[in-house]
Structure 1
């Protein structure tokens, strides 16, 4: 056959190429808008591409089909625009630390692509196309701007890179340097500051760098990345070493050193100063000196070597890094031995030796952060706390000083100090001593008060507040300032509480509240109602007896007395412990009476009562209530009576009751209450409330509605939820700015009955498109909360059932399948599980929808390449027509999910993969799984603790091992796990495992395992 008979590929029309280029530009601009780094550079990219689209629109009006140069320009524009889009997508999704390290390369890539786009624009034959002069001028100017535009990394990024390079170059950057560096990076990139989040960022970066190292031949670059990781790992927030690991490593190191410090080597001494060097440098004669000493020597005009007296070739220095490192290692060895040995000395009875040893320990703590860590690991804190009771004031003062140094910049050390026996009492006792010691104790308490876990404890030490008030009025301005700051920390900057502390207010207040005359009680209750109190103060007031007199006032005949008591209880009941105490001491009775009986109180008081009851309901969900079995409402009558007020009251009371039921539904009694609410037609009321204009009431109605759908029976919702309600919920989802309301509205849609008519209503109201928009925008928008995406993916499952291929087709046409595949790698465990379930349901239809491969005609092989069938379904597949998970590139992420810890995620992934071997020809699907490296992780699932997962794995392997080559390749790796199941599994599992062993020729079919 001659070459002339072979047809060439058709040439894409210029008009179509122009449309493709235009769409590529739009996609790139949209991707660039989502990038959070390099904002200035990507904004510049977006602006230039925006101008380019205007020019392309003008060119689309012209007859340009015959212009080859225009075609060439468009191909370059399309290619480079896609490069920019890929770069933008990488900058939106990749690890932030990795992006920072490569910010200069990002700039270079961006600049190169923009210059190429500018060059392509210059190739457009504007004159021959007949472009008007205005457009031609604009195109020329745009081309010039893109060719000449300068791109650069942000100033803050350059500063961080300089700090990293300096830290690596110096080689002695400590933990504080790393902490500062991590703080700068978090601020520059908007990274989460929580320890776990930062650890995750560093782990991702480390993983990425390992991949780069394995692929790269640039060893210098790989080494630099290792140094960066080592530097960042020194920070508190990123350290992966537990206290136990640090203790073990420290003990091993210390035990290997011996007990006596070593004398310095002769080479450590400077020949000029005769002291051990700290910064040794080598001169041209090859001799080494202390830098400051040789600089002084040469500054005197001398130009010969101090040792050899030979003339120097030049006056340059070269740092002797190896010697410097050896000196540092020697010092640290001796310092570790010294720190360990001092402990015994300060615990000795030799009083004269104790202050000297403490002073040396103090100097070592001030010298280096590593020394402070060693002091902590040597468990000095209890010893130092014990010394606060010493008779010698110098010993007490130095001990406080060391504790201050240890507490500074380390929350772990602060908590360790707090946990030492009688630590706070000992420190507070020092507040009452002479001014020098009291100031040190005050500084230590100030350091300790900077973490939340410590503040309440400090304020609870008897006498602490009185001593602080005394120091607040001190003549020493430093002591007064520190006392003021400490009081601010203890009271969350609440000046009212400071005033109360100054007057020692709480104790007399409670005495007057309990035993005073009525007008005095009224004043005291008003004080508790109006003053802003910290949580600690609220707890203290209830512990000291504030509840009982306030409850008595609720039953008082005087309306003003009731009102003030309600206001005070509303202020104090927001703490779960207080709420539980109120329930246990009978507060619910009088509160419900005030809420139900209009004549006993005003509308504003009833609103406050509703808030208090809401606080009490919330307290039943707290950790403190786990073993108490407390409930706000007991009987169906109680539930009906409280819920019926929603239809009879104003927005504020409605909100309080709705939030009360939300809390109750999440409490241990929640399932029972949810069932009774559904029986009482609460769903009908909530459907009506969802249509209200009052945002607060509507939001809380939607949230409670969502709670009721979590475990409701289908009939309740089929009766009250119609097409109008669905439209309302979707409207809330699209227009609300409240993320919790958005999540709840999608949660309702997710939980609604899987009824055919209900699903059709959802389709008719555009739910699929809304879900698609949610998932494609939500994954790139940090404001979308996890629950929104989880609920949206869960809602998808109803549209992807294999029993209705028309629904599946509509979902596929929207573009859902690629989104589901993306969620397999980027979602939460629940999101991954739901996405895998939908893909499994899609895949169940693939075998039937796969189009048969056309048999080639006599001459067709000469004209076109033969069709290639899907290796699993043996037909022609696509994402849109047959929903094939191979065509969707879902295989690799599904295989990776088999290694997830969550059993439900593994099971969903396994079921999706097993659809490939459920058809009439499982052999082809089994081979596909083998090629995707799925068989080995499936075999590992035999060791799962989930019996259901084990059972599905056994059934899968029974089919897989029907393929001889797969049985030979993987059979041996499965044998031990299968034997183990036959020994320890349940009856049905034993039989399944035995069947697989028979197929592997390990057992015969007459085995007792089938009995």
Structure 2
């Protein structure tokens, strides 16, 4: 097979992997990162065939290795597409780790190519891509971390409570996009259970068992059968609590019993209060007792919960007959207890539904007693909230809606309760139809919407808006439905009528919900068709209406998918240039569509937008031809598209068409909004841009302007963007000197020195910009920075800054510390007679063995930076933790090992490094492992930390990658845990 054939196989494999990766249902953010790299590889591979490459076996092997690793990535993506979503969520950490490993493997394979091809430009591009991929980090989402923590907590505490399992399973379903409908959720659980059977570990069995406790996995019939089987076995009389259930201090049944070492149980808050009041003796045994000696009595707590559930079942089962009695006072009291039970646990609501309480509660709405009706409305609202099946059952109950509507006409408090219940029910299609057609309902809602009670008025208006799309006769009844007749005429009227209806639609005041409803009822098809009409007035009317509707992201995506974007670009570039007002409206609409692409709700996989390089050029050119309104909207359009998942291509195109030159000029624009958007777009382009582009167009004047913006702008995001540009500009000596001469360093120092007066975003960006001035390759620049007195200031930020700020500060401190050993001034040895008689104080640094100061040698020890950096090692953020570790490890480089290790030990850094051996971040594990291997060569540390490090090291030998296994085995041999010939390895 020739080299070109090998490249063809690689291209085919890459395309297949891109297609699979695009459709993964989970880890979207992480897979999108990988996807961006695969697309770059897809662009690079065909270029190899143009390099006149020879059929070198070395080159073919390199391409074959790249193909192999991409194929492995394909396998991972396929697994993430086919396996149970629940299984994938619970294994999110493994998926993230696999993604990192695959990315690094592909990066290593790419790095083999540059020496084997003759095209220098392509070689540099491949090498840059390889370096980016090597540094890429993937992270679990906060939701994934939180759910896995809940699962671990449930297993650890042996939480067998059904409500815990129900809530956990619902949270998992929401996180992975599974319907909570019983049949769907049950099937997903069965798939998950089947896949976990192959795992065959104790934890897998525990997870399956815990989730299996969820009631929502069972059908209504199964739950009812189980409930009545248990309830019928309990009898009718409540069971008195056992004597052991009572707290000896409060005399009441305990909620959270804790046990003392002597075996006596107390209510937690009661015994803690007892001990806090200087009673340090057990109330019963009179022996010394501390809060730390208390332990949760899980067995007793479970027994008390079972007793309470038993009595609650009996109470709910017997209460129905009491609330239909003639004793109104007893009915009110009983309803109050039922309401409290409903609020206490959702499980109690399920029991009430099984006992068929709905018809009884609805019948109470017909009574004359206001308190009874109010209690019934509240309980019905609690039962119906967030539960579609109960809503359907309530709506089907005879006269339910009619009686609720009757309560709308009563006193304001009862009216508000009825209104709240109707709003809960209006989520259901069947309920909306019945509510809207109920006699007098609309008129009552209109009346309430004009009341003096702001909350009631707001709720009534919201409900009217929901109902107004269902009944055209509401226009005559209450003048609240504009849309039914309007949309009918928009689609079926004459051209003049259609134009008038589109104009009317553009002038109506609508909420976002109303705009969505308009689009859902067929308006888009008519409006998009009008865009292609030959009459410019018809086009204009449609554009005005689409501008109004498109500022809701959900609508914007629908408009794009209906093909409106391409038509709008055609109008903009070919028809509207002679009509300035129309240009403004078209651009404003296009901007709304772009914003919808970058919104958190969007999924633009099927929404093509600005795909043509020519369209990008033409749209950007409008900045030079129009006024501020068009300029700012064009800039916002590109800013939104550049920040969308597919923004990389747009950013590359913008850099190709010399947009940077225009943006540099716009940074001085007199209109603040235009300038602000230009700076933000400029910042976006610098994050992954070509250095040559910025070296060519960014001069001294531009840098001075950016510094001025940072100092004077009232727009925080604009100031942050300007600071990010300063941070991201090429790190050439000439550029850095220009930034220094413009006073940027003084501004950064001022921001970090006044951190309590600045936003966290500004502190983060300033600390990031500082990193460009602290590189260890330029000692003179480091001294210039240190002489500003910034080092003590940034060390304080290690305690108070955000994780991003801490990461940036740690990077700068690492840069400084890398030169400390060279800059430390050796202490002169005294050899005179008097030196033998007079002792001199030891002023040398304990690590660098010379005279160190913060400003001359940037010594971390002199700066008291060790403890703050050590605290950052406890951060959950891997980036901050890794940066802090890198800074601290500069103290044990080379010959500094023994003295530096002593300093690290004194600040508990070695203990924290051992803990990092169990970190889910492989990179952190590796760094800690390699460093500890050197430290444990020293006998005193080997002996001291042997017990602590043993188990994490054994874990790595079992589950780490091959390189880590080898290092871990070597350390275990150092520690004499295993000999070097052990078959264990």
**Aligned 1:680-719 pairs, distance under 5 A:** 680-719=657-696
Contact 2:872 2:881 in 1 (8 A): yes
Kindly indicate whether residue 480 of structure 2 is the aligned counterpart of residue 471 of structure 1. no
Contact 1:259 1:337 in 2 (8 A): no
User: C-alpha separation between the residues in 2 aligned to 1:774 and 1:346?
Assistant: 66
1:581 paired residue number: 558
What's the secondary structure of 2:821's corresponding residue?
helix
Correspondence for 2:936 among 961, 973, 976: 961
Check 1:574–1:355 CA distance in 2 against 1; reply closer, same or farther (3 A cut): farther
Cα offset for 1:605?
Answer: 2.1
2:363 paired residue number: 393
Cα offset for 1:759?
Answer: 1.2
2:858 paired residue number: 883
User: C-alpha separation between the residues in 2 aligned to 1:885 and 1:259?
Assistant: 74
Correspondence for 2:534 among 557, 568, 589: 557
Cα offset for 1:864?
Answer: 8.5
Q: Deviations over 1:816-854 (max 9, x none)?
A: 212221221222222111111111111111112222334
User: C-alpha separation between the residues in 2 aligned to 1:527 and 1:718?
Assistant: 52
Correspondence for 2:314 among 322, 341, 353: 341
User: C-alpha separation between the residues in 2 aligned to 1:539 and 1:385?
Assistant: 40
Contact 1:407 1:448 in 2 (8 A): yes
Correspondence for 1:835 among 809, 823, 839: 809
2:74 paired residue number: none
1:987 paired residue number: 962
User: C-alpha separation between the residues in 2 aligned to 1:370 and 1:428?
Assistant: 26
Check 1:552–1:601 CA distance in 2 against 1; reply closer, same or farther (3 A cut): farther
Check 1:833–1:381 CA distance in 2 against 1; reply closer, same or farther (3 A cut): farther
2:786 paired residue number: 812
Correspondence for 2:895 among 906, 920, 925: 920
Cα offset for 1:338?
Answer: 6.4
Correspondence for 1:628 among 601, 605, 609: 605
Correspondence for 2:773 among 799, 811, 814: 799
**Aligned 1:314-713 pairs, distance under 5 A:** 339-345=312-318, 354=324, 363=333, 366=336, 371=341, 373-374=343-344, 376-379=346-349, 383=353, 388=358, 393-394=363-364, 401-402=374-375, 404-405=377-378, 415-416=385-386, 420-422=390-392, 425=395, 430-433=400-403, 436-439=406-409, 443-444=416-417, 446-447=419-420, 461-462=432-433, 464-465=435-436, 468-472=441-445, 484-490=457-463, 502-599=479-576, 602-626=579-603, 628-713=605-690
Cα offset for 1:383?
Answer: 2.5
Kindly indicate whether residue 820 of structure 2 is the aligned counterpart of residue 846 of structure 1. yes
Q: Deviations over 1:150-209 (max 9, x none)?
A: xxxxxxxxxxxxxxxxxxxxxxxxxxxxxxxxxxxxxxxxxxxxxx9xxxxxxxxxxxxx
Contact 1:706 1:748 in 2 (8 A): yes
Check 1:950–1:752 CA distance in 2 against 1; reply closer, same or farther (3 A cut): same
2:716 paired residue number: 739
Kindly indicate whether residue 867 of structure 2 is the aligned counterpart of residue 892 of structure 1. yes
User: C-alpha separation between the residues in 1 aligned to 2:939 and 2:611?
Assistant: 64
Check 1:936–1:439 CA distance in 2 against 1; reply closer, same or farther (3 A cut): farther
Check 1:750–1:446 CA distance in 2 against 1; reply closer, same or farther (3 A cut): farther
Check 1:717–1:478 CA distance in 2 against 1; reply closer, same or farther (3 A cut): closer
What's the secondary structure of 2:683's corresponding residue?
helix
Kindly indicate whether residue 935 of structure 2 is the aligned counterpart of residue 945 of structure 1. no
Check 1:898–1:611 CA distance in 2 against 1; reply closer, same or farther (3 A cut): same
User: C-alpha separation between the residues in 1 aligned to 2:475 and 2:763?
Assistant: 49
**Aligned 1:184-195 pairs, distance under 5 A:** none
User: C-alpha separation between the residues in 1 aligned to 2:860 and 2:408?
Assistant: 72
1:905 paired residue number: 880
Q: Deviations over 1:574-607 (max 9, x none)?
A: 1112111111111112211221134577312221
User: C-alpha separation between the residues in 2 aligned to 1:736 and 1:769?
Assistant: 17
Q: Deviations over 1:853-900 (max 9, x none)?
A: 344565579889613322222222222222111222221121122222
User: C-alpha separation between the residues in 2 aligned to 1:491 and 1:821?
Assistant: 58
Q: Deviations over 1:691-728 (max 9, x none)?
A: 11111111111111111111112112111112211111
Cα offset for 1:634?
Answer: 0.9
Worse-superposed segment, 679-688 or 823-832: 823-832
Worse-superposed segment, 648-657 or 497-506: 497-506
Q: Deviations over 1:959-991 (max 9, x none)?
A: 211222111101332233223333333332233
User: C-alpha separation between the residues in 2 aligned to 1:683 and 1:589?
Assistant: 26
Cα offset for 1:736?
Answer: 0.5
Cα offset for 1:902?
Answer: 2.0
Contact 1:620 1:631 in 2 (8 A): no
Check 1:528–1:449 CA distance in 2 against 1; reply closer, same or farther (3 A cut): farther
Check 1:848–1:392 CA distance in 2 against 1; reply closer, same or farther (3 A cut): closer
Contact 1:381 1:420 in 2 (8 A): no
Check 1:792–1:969 CA distance in 2 against 1; reply closer, same or farther (3 A cut): same
What's the secondary structure of 1:801's corresponding residue?
coil
What's the secondary structure of 1:533's corresponding residue?
coil
Please identify the structure whose Cα radius of gyration is greater: 1
User: C-alpha separation between the residues in 2 aligned to 1:529 and 1:696?
Assistant: 25
* Structure 1: unaligned runs, 5 residues or longer: 1-195, 197-242, 249-253, 266-330
Check 1:475–1:404 CA distance in 2 against 1; reply closer, same or farther (3 A cut): closer
What's the secondary structure of 1:461's corresponding residue?
helix
User: C-alpha separation between the residues in 2 aligned to 1:764 and 1:454?
Assistant: 66
Cα offset for 1:559?
Answer: 3.0
* Structure 2: unaligned runs, 5 residues or longer: 1-141, 143-173, 175-209, 215-229, 243-303
Check 1:1000–1:353 CA distance in 2 against 1; reply closer, same or farther (3 A cut): closer
1:780 paired residue number: 756
RMSD: 4.6
Cα offset for 1:360?
Answer: 5.7
Cα offset for 1:938?
Answer: 0.2
Check 1:556–1:346 CA distance in 2 against 1; reply closer, same or farther (3 A cut): farther
**Aligned 1:815-826 pairs, distance under 5 A:** 815-826=789-800
User: C-alpha separation between the residues in 2 aligned to 1:979 and 1:850?
Assistant: 40
What's the secondary structure of 1:880's corresponding residue?
helix
Cα offset for 1:675?
Answer: 1.3
Q: Deviations over 1:982-1004 (max 9, x none)?
A: 33333322332233234334455
What's the secondary structure of 1:462's corresponding residue?
helix
Contact 1:424 1:458 in 2 (8 A): no
